[in-house]
């Protein structure tokens, strides 16, 4: 089947990029639109740069920086802890044969059927007993509990694709089992690790139910909770809400673009080695 001409493919790619990025662009335009023009009969498609001070005012009057820092700590902690915990179970499901292996895999899937709202009360009581309630640690642990099963299955699929002959050669050279995982398997599945980190990071960044329930201090409020509470206030300027939404969305987009580079480079390196 003949491929489409290059101009047609470029046009299609640019159209899809514009379609995917338009919601973020519209938030940005709305944040720089004066309140008197927000409900005009003809929408404004270009930002009013004279209104850029709304971003400075947002940081001055609202603890946006604190919210973002707390969200970054929670999302980063969730990502690191999820990958660290999920790596060896994923390797065990991929390489070893043991009693209850199928049941264990099914149990990981079953955990995703439970909504977060059902576990809020048990987690609240448990974290209260161990003394981590009303801390960012509680949010990291709660989010990790939900992301680990997903990350395990993602990493298992990647490890399944690693030839066992490579591991056997490493063992012959004197490498221990842990060394095989860290020195051989881990570099080969680096692109999948990057993809799994995106899932874990986004879950920790966007999570709301646990952040609203397990943390009560305003100084520990995450951006998702802060933005939701800020929207509910009376007489809130829409362009201010949109400016905070843009600030809240930008770090997640930057993280995705940063990790995507490693996903693509890892896939390319794998193709060269093959």
Q: Quick one: which of 75, 146, 140, 90 has its CA closest to 117?
A: 146
Residue 222 predicted with pLDDT over 90 = yes
**Domain 62-273, what architecture?**
Orthogonal Bundle (1.10)
**What local confidence, expressed as pLDDT, does residue 151 receive?**
92
N residues, the chain: 274
What pLDDT shows up at residue 263? 65
**Residue-level pLDDT at 232:** 58
**Residue 9 pLDDT greater than 70, yes or no:** yes
When comparing pLDDT for 112 and 10, which is higher? 10
Q: What is the pLDDT of residue 79?
A: 95
Task: Spell out the SS3 assignment of the chain.
Answer: CCCCCHHHHHHHHHHHHHHHHHHHHHHHHHHCCCHHHCCCCCCCCCCCHHHCHHHHHHHHHCCHHHHHHHHHHHHHHHHHHHHHHHHHHHHHHHHCCCCCHHHHHHHHHHHCCCCHHHHHHHHHHHHHHHCCCCCHHHHHHHHHHHHHHHHHHHHHHHHHCCCHHHHHHHHHCCCCHHHHHHHHHHHHCHHHHHHHHHHHHHHHHHCCHHHHHCCCCHHHCCHHHHHHHHHCCCCCCHHHHHHHHHHHHHHHHHHHHHHHHHHHHHHHHHHHHC
Segment 190-212 shows an average pLDDT of 91
The domains of the chain are located at: 1-51, 62-273
Distance, in Å, from the CA atom of 61 to the CA atom of 69, rounded to the nearest integer, reads 16
Prediction pTM value: 0.83
Tokens 């209104």 belong to residue: 51
Q: What is the pLDDT of residues 16-36, one digit of tens each?
A: 888 888 888 888 888 888 777
Share of the chain above pLDDT 90, in %: 24
Task: Give pLDDT tens digits for 156-175.
Answer: 988 888 888 888 888 888 88
């Amino acid at each position: 089947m003949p491929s489409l001409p290059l101009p047609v493919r470029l046009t299609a790619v640019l159209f899809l990029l514009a379609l995917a990025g338009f919601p973020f662009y519209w938030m940005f335009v709305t944040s720089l639109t004066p309140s008197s023009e927000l409900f005009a009969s003809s929408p404004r498609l270009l930002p009013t740069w004279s209104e850029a001070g709304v971003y400075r005012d947002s940081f001055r009057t609202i603890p946006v920086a604190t919210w973002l820092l707390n969200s970054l700590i929670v999302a980063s902690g969730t990502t690191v802890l999820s990958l660290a915990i999920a790596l060896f179970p994923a390797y065990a499901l991929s390489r070893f044969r043991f009693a209850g292996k199928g049941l264990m895999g099914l149990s990981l899937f079953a955990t995703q059927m439970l909504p977060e709202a059902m576990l809020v009360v048990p987690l609240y009581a448990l974290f209260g007993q161990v003394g981590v309630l009303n801390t960012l640690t509680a949010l990291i642990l709660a989010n990790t509990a939900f992301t680990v099963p997903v990350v395990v299955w993602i990493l298992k699929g990647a490890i399944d694709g690693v030839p066992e002959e490579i591991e056997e050669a490493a063992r012959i050279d004197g490498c221990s089992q842990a060394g095989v995982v860290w020195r051989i398997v881990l570099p080969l599945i680096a692109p999948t690790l990057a993809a799994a980190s995106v899932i874990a990071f986004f879950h920790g960044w966007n999570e709301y139910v646990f952040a609203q329930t397990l943390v009560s201090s305003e100084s520990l409020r995450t951006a998702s909770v802060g933005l939701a509470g800020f929207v509910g206030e009376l007489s809130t300027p829409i362009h201010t809400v949109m400016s905070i939404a843009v600030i809240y969305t930008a770090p997640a987009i930057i993280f995705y673009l940063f990790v995507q580079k490693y996903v693509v480079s890892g896939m390319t390196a794998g193709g060269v080695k093959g």
